[in-house]
Amino acid sequence: MQIYLPIAEVSVNAFLLLGLGGLVGVLSGMFGVGGGFLMTPLLFFIGIPPAVAVATEANQIVASSFSAVLAHLRRKTVDLRMGTVLLVGGLIGSALGVWVFNILRSMGQVDLLVKLSYVIFLGAIGGLMFIESLNTIRNTRKGKAPKRKHHTWIHALPFKMKFRTSGLYISVIPPALVGVFVGVLSAIMGVGGGFIMVPAMIYLLGMPTKVVVGTSLFQIIFVTAFTTLLHATTNYTVDMILAVLLLVGGVVGAQVGARIGVYLKAEQLRILLAVMVLLVCGKLALDLLIEPAELYSIGTAGH
Amino acid sequence: MIRALIFLLALALPAKAEDLVAGLSQNRIAISSSFDGSEILIFGAVKRQAPIPEGQLGMIVTVEGPQRPLTVRRKDKQAIIWVNSAAVEIDHAPSFYAVNTSGPLDDVLSNTSDLRHRITVRQAIRSVGAPMDVQDASAFTDALVRIRERQELYQLNIGAVEVSDQTLFKTRVELPANLVEGDYTSRIFLTREGAVVAEYAATIDVAKVGLERFLYTLAHENALIYGLMSLAIAIAAGWGASAMFRYLQS
């Protein structure tokens, strides 16, 4: 069934969009990532204009994250206090990110910088997570208990706060900084930032994996809602019909994903996420390295 | 002297021996949610006061979408990666352009007529100035035509105009699904030996209707309300799915 999208001004297959939304929704519920880093390139691929794809994707992430967060809230795997600290950092960060983005745009080549930051961040994080999870799996097979660092420099910082759900008593500075960093990246790369926040919470803050997913989703809802409003009021690029099709598939997928996630071990979850991140990274890197079939591209004037 | 001039002018501009009357199957195309491309039938006849003149008859029908400025960019290899480098601004490029002819383009249209009436797609695209560092500006226009031809936005349909008894003609123009809103112009040219002898033009109004119209207007005129509405839908859908799954499990 073909459907015409009023803002994107293209006609696409409605079932294809429902399917894509569902698939990305499952991943989002399982891993606590918004799925933007997967969905946005997929939307480019089926012919949605990039500006519309990025803005509408932000709107869809709001829906799937909200749906998944409700499932996590009922299982009490959301650290609301930690989420709020991350959120405050995130909003500051995304404002900063928009500012940086505009500077880069006035210098030209913003496309390339966005792609390069995708390749670098996805590659680094995917690689680290993959190696780390492999080691954990190997160690548990050998019967060694996984090591957990207890006292690092993070514990020496001031403004300590008790995060009961995560079982942590640490300074608010590291989580706030993580929030700012993710906010900046999400504004530049047009994603929720879960794929960076999840590993940052596990490895930098030492939060338990089960709590990480729900907390990450909680923060993503607000950051992407902010982004959606920004895009809708400045660029008029949010396509409501496209968003509805994606999110109907997405919210159902997220519920399924959150339930699958319960049955998987933390290391397995992490290694799957790592593989996916590396795949997307590889695809983007190839696009930059291999000579494209069509060297020319058409863009709107003045950009 | 003056008489001679008038005589010359009269020779240069003979009274029109042939004229065109034409009609379109639709003057208005409504883009609704289920819009999946459309087809226009363009038909008509050649009106004559005198016997059929000499010279090979040709018929060309064009349909042109609204003009929009755009930028064509080219990638170049820098170090190890492919990067957009050179760019050329195109001041006028139709968003859609179809040319249907009754025969091979060289037979039905001379170069001078093409230049004067801007009939082929290359004449319809106007690029005023390429930057100094771009040597081969025409390669960018070629690329634009190539990419749009692949998307079926630019079409050249040789022999698509059926002409019977040098008088009646009809043709069909396929409009693709990725159509832009605006006023489309259809032009019909009657040629003899490649020179245009008669011309007819009509407009086709392409507009969004119903829900599409409502959302488009809201998004542009009440952006904040539109944005909040999008968020409300997202939250409601998220909550709805969660509640539904809970109900299904219990």
pLDDT in tens, A66-119: 887 887 888 888 888 888 888 898 888 877 877 777 676 665 566 677 778 778
Q: Provide the shortest C-alpha distance from residue A136 to chain B (in Å).
A: 33
Assess if residue A300 is contained within a domain. no
Assess if residue A303 is contained within a domain. no
Rounded mean pLDDT of A130-158?
68
Q: Which of residues 153-212 of A touch B (CB under 8 A)?
A: none
Whether the CB-CB separation of B188 and B200 falls below 8 Å is answered with: yes
Predicted pLDDT at A155: 65
Predicted pLDDT at B2: 63
Provide the number of structural domains found in chain A.
1
Which site among A240, A256, A259 would you substitute to test the B interface, given the most B Cβ atoms closer than 10 Å to its Cβ?
A240
The confidence band for A237, taking pLDDT boundaries of 50, 70 and 90, is confident
Predicted pLDDT at A79: 86
Domain that holds residue A65: 2-289
The confidence band for B138, taking pLDDT boundaries of 50, 70 and 90, is confident
**B227, A228: Cβ pair inside 8 Å?**
yes
Residues 6 or more apart whose CB falls under 8 angstroms from that of A145 comprise none
Predicted pLDDT at A170: 78
Structure tokens at A191: 């994603």
- Comparison of pLDDT for A8 and A141, the residue scoring more: A8
Inform me whether the C-beta atom of residue B159 falls under 8 Å from chain A C-beta atoms.
no
**Would the pLDDT of A229 be above 60?**
yes
Whether the CB-CB separation of A222 and A91 falls below 8 Å is answered with: yes
**B219, A70: Cβ pair inside 8 Å?**
no
Which residue in chain B is spatially nearest to A221 when comparing CA positions? B235
CA distance B63 to B189: 12
Assess if residue A297 is contained within a domain. no
**Would the pLDDT of B15 be above 60?**
no
Rounded mean pLDDT of B92-105?
92
Quickly tell me which residue has 């390069």 as its tokens. Answer: A116
Assess if residue A299 is contained within a domain. no
Q: Provide the shortest C-alpha distance from residue A168 to chain B (in Å).
A: 29
Predicted pLDDT at A303: 43
Give, as one character, the DSSP assignment of residue A154: G
- Comparison of pLDDT for A99 and A275, the residue scoring more: A275
End-to-end C-alpha distance for chain A, whole angstroms: 34
Q: Provide the shortest C-alpha distance from residue A234 to chain B (in Å).
A: 8
Give, as one character, the DSSP assignment of residue A203: I
Strands (E), A69-225: 160-163, 168-171
Structure tokens at A19: 């399917």
**A251, B240: Cβ pair inside 8 Å?**
yes
Residues 6 or more apart whose CB falls under 8 angstroms from that of B232 comprise none
| Whole-Å CA distances, B164 to A12, A154, B37, B48, B62 | 39, 87, 28, 15, 19
Residues 6 or more apart whose CB falls under 8 angstroms from that of A188 comprise A97, A100, A101, A104, A113, A114, A117
Predicted pLDDT at B98: 94
CA distance A208 to A77: 10
Q: To the nearest whole number, what is the mean pLDDT of chain A?
A: 79
DSSP alpha helix (H) spans, A200-289:
209-234, 240-263, 266-289
**A288, B215: Cβ pair inside 8 Å?**
no
Which site among B125, B230, B233, B242 would you substitute to test the A interface, given the most A Cβ atoms closer than 10 Å to its Cβ?
B230
Residue B72: which of A287, A296, A302 has the nearest Cβ? A296
Predicted pLDDT at A109: 63
Residue A300: which of B71, B143, B234 has the nearest Cβ? B71
Inform me whether the C-beta atom of residue A48 falls under 8 Å from chain B C-beta atoms.
no
Rounded mean pLDDT of A276-284?
83
Predicted pLDDT at A203: 79
Structure tokens at A241: 């019909």
